[in-house]
Structure 1
Protein backbone atom coordinates (compact mmCIF):
# COMPACT_ATOMS: atom_id res chain seq x y z
CA UNK A 1 0.00 0.00 0.00
CA UNK A 2 1.43 3.38 -0.98
CA UNK A 3 1.29 6.25 1.44
CA UNK A 4 0.61 9.95 1.33
CA UNK A 5 4.34 10.56 1.95
CA UNK A 6 5.25 8.54 -1.15
CA UNK A 7 2.57 9.80 -3.52
CA UNK A 8 2.32 13.46 -2.43
CA UNK A 9 5.95 14.60 -2.02
CA UNK A 10 5.12 18.27 -2.59
CA UNK A 11 2.59 18.19 0.25
CA UNK A 12 5.17 16.56 2.52
CA UNK A 13 7.46 19.55 1.95
CA UNK A 14 4.83 21.67 3.75
CA UNK A 15 5.25 19.74 7.02
CA UNK A 16 5.88 22.04 9.97
CA UNK A 17 4.85 25.47 11.17
CA UNK A 18 4.17 28.46 8.95
CA UNK A 19 3.53 32.11 9.87
CA UNK A 20 2.22 34.75 7.55
CA UNK A 21 -0.38 37.29 6.56
CA UNK A 22 -3.78 36.85 4.91
CA UNK A 23 -5.05 39.82 2.90
CA UNK A 24 -8.59 39.59 1.50
CA UNK A 25 -9.35 41.89 -1.44
CA UNK A 26 -12.44 42.55 -3.52
CA UNK A 27 -12.38 42.22 -7.31
CA UNK A 28 -11.09 45.81 -7.60
CA UNK A 29 -8.17 45.17 -5.21
CA UNK A 30 -9.62 47.00 -2.19
CA UNK A 31 -8.56 45.43 1.12
CA UNK A 32 -11.53 43.88 2.95
CA UNK A 33 -9.60 42.11 5.73
CA UNK A 34 -6.05 41.53 6.93
CA UNK A 35 -4.87 39.18 9.65
CA UNK A 36 -1.86 37.18 10.79
CA UNK A 37 -1.70 33.39 10.66
CA UNK A 38 0.13 30.45 12.17
CA UNK A 39 -0.51 27.10 10.46
CA UNK A 40 0.77 23.69 11.51
CA UNK A 41 0.89 20.90 8.92
CA UNK A 42 1.40 17.41 10.36
CA UNK A 43 1.54 13.80 9.21
CA UNK A 44 0.65 11.96 12.43
CA UNK A 45 1.54 8.29 12.68
CA UNK A 46 -0.72 7.65 15.70
CA UNK A 47 -3.97 8.95 14.21
CA UNK A 48 -6.74 7.79 11.94
CA UNK A 49 -5.87 10.80 9.74
CA UNK A 50 -2.67 10.75 7.68
CA UNK A 51 -2.74 14.59 7.52
CA UNK A 52 -3.71 17.13 10.15
CA UNK A 53 -3.63 20.90 9.81
CA UNK A 54 -4.28 23.50 12.49
CA UNK A 55 -4.94 27.09 11.42
CA UNK A 56 -4.64 29.94 13.93
CA UNK A 57 -5.60 33.49 13.00
CA UNK A 58 -5.05 36.76 14.86
CA UNK A 59 -6.40 40.20 13.98
CA UNK A 60 -4.97 43.56 15.05
CA UNK A 61 -8.00 44.16 17.34
CA UNK A 62 -7.15 41.02 19.35
CA UNK A 63 -9.71 38.71 17.75
CA UNK A 64 -8.48 35.10 17.45
CA UNK A 65 -9.76 31.99 15.70
CA UNK A 66 -8.46 28.41 15.49
CA UNK A 67 -9.58 25.57 13.23
CA UNK A 68 -8.54 21.94 12.77
CA UNK A 69 -8.52 20.23 9.37
CA UNK A 70 -7.93 16.49 9.51
CA UNK A 71 -7.45 15.04 6.06
CA UNK A 72 -7.89 11.58 4.58
CA UNK A 73 -5.86 10.25 1.67
CA UNK A 74 -6.89 8.35 -1.44
CA UNK A 75 -6.29 8.41 -5.18
CA UNK A 76 -3.20 10.66 -4.89
CA UNK A 77 -5.31 13.38 -3.27
CA UNK A 78 -5.98 14.80 0.18
CA UNK A 79 -9.67 14.97 1.14
CA UNK A 80 -11.26 17.17 3.82
CA UNK A 81 -14.70 16.59 5.31
CA UNK A 82 -15.01 18.49 8.58
CA UNK A 83 -17.85 20.29 10.31
CA UNK A 84 -16.61 23.46 8.59
CA UNK A 85 -15.38 22.50 5.09
CA UNK A 86 -15.51 19.91 2.33
CA UNK A 87 -12.67 19.77 -0.17
CA UNK A 88 -9.92 18.08 -2.13
CA UNK A 89 -6.22 18.91 -2.67
CA UNK A 90 -3.86 17.48 -5.28
CA UNK A 91 -0.39 18.18 -6.66
CA UNK A 92 0.04 19.60 -10.17
CA UNK A 93 3.83 19.98 -10.42
CA UNK A 94 6.96 20.03 -8.23
CA UNK A 95 5.95 23.27 -6.46
CA UNK A 96 2.16 23.57 -6.67
CA UNK A 97 -0.88 22.16 -4.89
CA UNK A 98 -4.44 22.99 -5.87
CA UNK A 99 -7.16 22.91 -3.20
CA UNK A 100 -10.83 23.17 -4.08
CA UNK A 101 -13.17 23.53 -1.11
CA UNK A 102 -16.45 24.93 0.12
CA UNK A 103 -17.78 25.98 3.48
CA UNK A 104 -20.58 23.72 4.63
CA UNK A 105 -23.89 25.47 4.98
CA UNK A 106 -22.94 28.22 2.52
CA UNK A 107 -24.80 27.39 -0.67
CA UNK A 108 -23.42 28.55 -4.00
CA UNK A 109 -19.93 29.35 -2.69
CA UNK A 110 -16.71 27.61 -3.65
CA UNK A 111 -13.06 28.45 -3.14
CA UNK A 112 -10.13 27.52 -5.34
CA UNK A 113 -6.68 27.81 -3.81
CA UNK A 114 -3.25 27.59 -5.41
CA UNK A 115 -0.42 26.84 -2.96
CA UNK A 116 3.17 27.23 -4.11
CA UNK A 117 6.22 26.28 -2.05
CA UNK A 118 9.67 27.65 -2.81
CA UNK A 119 12.49 25.34 -3.95
CA UNK A 120 14.22 25.88 -0.56
CA UNK A 121 10.97 24.82 1.25
CA UNK A 122 10.97 27.93 3.48
CA UNK A 123 8.42 30.18 1.74
CA UNK A 124 4.88 29.74 0.50
CA UNK A 125 2.60 31.86 -1.65
CA UNK A 126 -1.10 31.04 -1.65
CA UNK A 127 -4.10 32.57 -3.39
CA UNK A 128 -7.77 31.86 -2.86
CA UNK A 129 -10.38 32.69 -5.47
CA UNK A 130 -13.85 33.01 -3.91
CA UNK A 131 -16.81 32.25 -6.19
CA UNK A 132 -20.43 32.91 -5.25
CA UNK A 133 -23.02 31.57 -7.69
CA UNK A 134 -20.18 31.03 -10.20
CA UNK A 135 -19.01 34.67 -10.01
CA UNK A 136 -15.62 35.72 -8.62
CA UNK A 137 -16.30 37.95 -5.60
CA UNK A 138 -12.93 38.27 -3.84
CA UNK A 139 -9.43 36.90 -3.44
CA UNK A 140 -7.28 36.05 -0.46
CA UNK A 141 -3.55 36.65 -0.84
CA UNK A 142 -1.35 34.74 1.60
CA UNK A 143 2.38 35.05 2.10
CA UNK A 144 4.03 32.66 4.57
CA UNK A 145 7.41 31.73 5.94
CA UNK A 146 8.47 28.55 7.71
CA UNK A 147 9.00 29.07 11.45
CA UNK A 148 12.57 28.37 12.46
Structure 2
Protein backbone atom coordinates (compact mmCIF):
# COMPACT_ATOMS: atom_id res chain seq x y z
CA UNK A 1 0.00 0.00 0.00
CA UNK A 2 1.49 3.33 -1.05
CA UNK A 3 1.39 6.57 0.87
CA UNK A 4 -0.20 9.71 -0.54
CA UNK A 5 3.27 11.13 -1.26
CA UNK A 6 4.12 8.05 -3.37
CA UNK A 7 0.71 7.55 -4.96
CA UNK A 8 -0.15 11.18 -5.83
CA UNK A 9 3.14 12.95 -6.69
CA UNK A 10 1.40 15.72 -8.67
CA UNK A 11 -0.85 16.57 -5.73
CA UNK A 12 2.20 16.68 -3.43
CA UNK A 13 3.64 19.45 -5.65
CA UNK A 14 0.71 21.62 -4.44
CA UNK A 15 1.92 21.54 -0.84
CA UNK A 16 2.13 25.03 0.66
CA UNK A 17 0.35 28.37 0.58
CA UNK A 18 -1.47 29.71 -2.50
CA UNK A 19 -3.05 33.11 -3.17
CA UNK A 20 -5.24 34.03 -6.09
CA UNK A 21 -8.49 35.22 -7.57
CA UNK A 22 -11.73 33.33 -8.17
CA UNK A 23 -13.97 34.67 -10.96
CA UNK A 24 -17.42 33.08 -11.37
CA UNK A 25 -19.06 33.43 -14.80
CA UNK A 26 -22.34 32.28 -16.30
CA UNK A 27 -22.60 30.44 -19.63
CA UNK A 28 -22.49 33.75 -21.54
CA UNK A 29 -19.28 34.81 -19.77
CA UNK A 30 -20.92 37.43 -17.57
CA UNK A 31 -19.06 37.85 -14.28
CA UNK A 32 -21.31 36.80 -11.39
CA UNK A 33 -18.79 37.02 -8.55
CA UNK A 34 -15.11 37.74 -7.95
CA UNK A 35 -13.08 37.29 -4.77
CA UNK A 36 -9.59 36.71 -3.39
CA UNK A 37 -8.33 33.43 -1.99
CA UNK A 38 -5.64 32.05 0.28
CA UNK A 39 -5.40 28.24 0.32
CA UNK A 40 -3.20 26.07 2.53
CA UNK A 41 -2.45 22.57 1.19
CA UNK A 42 -0.93 20.37 3.88
CA UNK A 43 0.30 16.79 4.18
CA UNK A 44 0.43 16.24 7.97
CA UNK A 45 2.90 13.59 9.08
CA UNK A 46 0.82 12.82 12.17
CA UNK A 47 -2.92 12.86 12.58
CA UNK A 48 -5.99 11.22 11.13
CA UNK A 49 -5.78 12.76 7.62
CA UNK A 50 -2.88 12.48 5.17
CA UNK A 51 -4.18 15.63 3.40
CA UNK A 52 -5.65 18.78 4.89
CA UNK A 53 -6.70 21.91 3.00
CA UNK A 54 -7.89 25.25 4.36
CA UNK A 55 -9.60 27.67 1.96
CA UNK A 56 -9.94 31.32 2.97
CA UNK A 57 -11.96 33.69 0.78
CA UNK A 58 -12.27 37.48 0.96
CA UNK A 59 -14.63 39.71 -1.03
CA UNK A 60 -14.18 43.43 -1.75
CA UNK A 61 -17.13 44.26 0.54
CA UNK A 62 -15.33 42.68 3.52
CA UNK A 63 -17.19 39.36 3.53
CA UNK A 64 -14.96 36.43 4.56
CA UNK A 65 -15.32 32.64 4.58
CA UNK A 66 -13.07 29.81 5.72
CA UNK A 67 -13.56 26.11 4.96
CA UNK A 68 -11.52 23.07 5.96
CA UNK A 69 -11.16 19.92 3.88
CA UNK A 70 -9.55 16.87 5.47
CA UNK A 71 -8.83 14.16 2.92
CA UNK A 72 -8.44 10.40 3.07
CA UNK A 73 -6.08 8.65 0.63
CA UNK A 74 -6.76 5.25 -0.92
CA UNK A 75 -6.33 3.58 -4.30
CA UNK A 76 -4.32 6.49 -5.77
CA UNK A 77 -7.14 8.95 -5.06
CA UNK A 78 -8.04 11.51 -2.41
CA UNK A 79 -11.53 11.38 -0.88
CA UNK A 80 -13.38 14.15 0.94
CA UNK A 81 -16.43 13.79 3.16
CA UNK A 82 -17.12 16.89 5.26
CA UNK A 83 -20.26 18.50 6.60
CA UNK A 84 -20.47 20.50 3.33
CA UNK A 85 -19.16 18.28 0.54
CA UNK A 86 -18.35 14.82 -0.68
CA UNK A 87 -15.71 14.40 -3.37
CA UNK A 88 -12.82 12.60 -5.00
CA UNK A 89 -9.55 13.81 -6.59
CA UNK A 90 -7.20 11.87 -8.87
CA UNK A 91 -4.24 12.60 -11.13
CA UNK A 92 -4.49 12.24 -14.90
CA UNK A 93 -0.98 13.26 -16.04
CA UNK A 94 2.20 14.88 -14.71
CA UNK A 95 0.61 18.33 -14.18
CA UNK A 96 -3.14 17.77 -13.77
CA UNK A 97 -5.44 16.79 -10.92
CA UNK A 98 -9.18 16.31 -11.47
CA UNK A 99 -11.60 16.83 -8.59
CA UNK A 100 -15.28 15.92 -8.55
CA UNK A 101 -17.38 17.16 -5.66
CA UNK A 102 -20.96 17.81 -4.64
CA UNK A 103 -22.51 19.94 -1.94
CA UNK A 104 -24.52 17.84 0.50
CA UNK A 105 -27.28 20.47 0.73
CA UNK A 106 -27.77 20.55 -3.08
CA UNK A 107 -28.18 16.95 -4.35
CA UNK A 108 -29.01 18.02 -7.92
CA UNK A 109 -25.72 19.93 -8.26
CA UNK A 110 -22.05 18.90 -8.66
CA UNK A 111 -18.76 20.24 -9.99
CA UNK A 112 -15.75 19.04 -11.88
CA UNK A 113 -12.51 20.91 -11.26
CA UNK A 114 -9.35 20.72 -13.33
CA UNK A 115 -6.20 21.83 -11.50
CA UNK A 116 -3.03 22.48 -13.52
CA UNK A 117 0.30 23.17 -11.80
CA UNK A 118 3.21 24.81 -13.64
CA UNK A 119 6.48 22.91 -14.17
CA UNK A 120 8.21 25.17 -11.61
CA UNK A 121 5.41 24.47 -9.06
CA UNK A 122 4.75 28.19 -8.50
CA UNK A 123 1.53 28.78 -10.49
CA UNK A 124 -1.82 27.04 -10.71
CA UNK A 125 -4.71 27.41 -13.12
CA UNK A 126 -8.00 25.91 -12.00
CA UNK A 127 -11.47 25.73 -13.52
CA UNK A 128 -14.69 24.59 -11.93
CA UNK A 129 -17.51 23.40 -14.18
CA UNK A 130 -20.81 23.66 -12.26
CA UNK A 131 -23.65 21.29 -13.21
CA UNK A 132 -27.26 21.31 -12.07
CA UNK A 133 -29.43 18.40 -13.21
CA UNK A 134 -26.54 17.38 -15.53
CA UNK A 135 -26.53 20.77 -17.31
CA UNK A 136 -23.62 23.20 -17.04
CA UNK A 137 -24.74 26.56 -15.71
CA UNK A 138 -21.58 28.38 -14.63
CA UNK A 139 -17.80 28.18 -14.35
CA UNK A 140 -15.28 29.39 -11.82
CA UNK A 141 -11.93 30.55 -13.21
CA UNK A 142 -9.07 30.52 -10.71
CA UNK A 143 -5.54 31.89 -11.07
CA UNK A 144 -3.12 31.30 -8.21
CA UNK A 145 0.50 31.65 -7.33
CA UNK A 146 2.55 30.14 -4.56
CA UNK A 147 2.98 32.48 -1.58
CA UNK A 148 6.69 32.90 -0.95
TM-score range, shorter chain: over 0.9
Q: Distance in 1 between matches of 2:107 and 2:75?
A: 27
Counterpart of 1:76 in structure 2 is 76
Unmatched tracts of structure 2, length 5 or more: none
1:12-53 deviations in Å (ceiling 9; x for gaps): 000000000000000000000000000000000121000000
Matched, 1:89 2:85: no
1:101-139 deviations in Å (ceiling 9; x for gaps): 000110210100000000000000000000000100000
Q: Distance in 2 between matches of 1:105 and 1:57?
A: 20
Q: Distance in 2 between matches of 1:107 and 1:42?
A: 29
Counterpart of 1:111 in structure 2 is 111
Q: Matched residue of 1:17: which SS? A: strand
Q: Distance in 1 between matches of 2:101 and 2:107?
A: 12
Q: Which stretches of structure 1, 4 residues or more, deviate above 2 A after TM superposition?
A: none
Tell me by how many angstroms 1:66 deviates.
0.1
Name the count of aligned residue pairs: 148
Tell me by how many angstroms 1:5 deviates.
0.1
Unmatched tracts of structure 1, length 5 or more: none
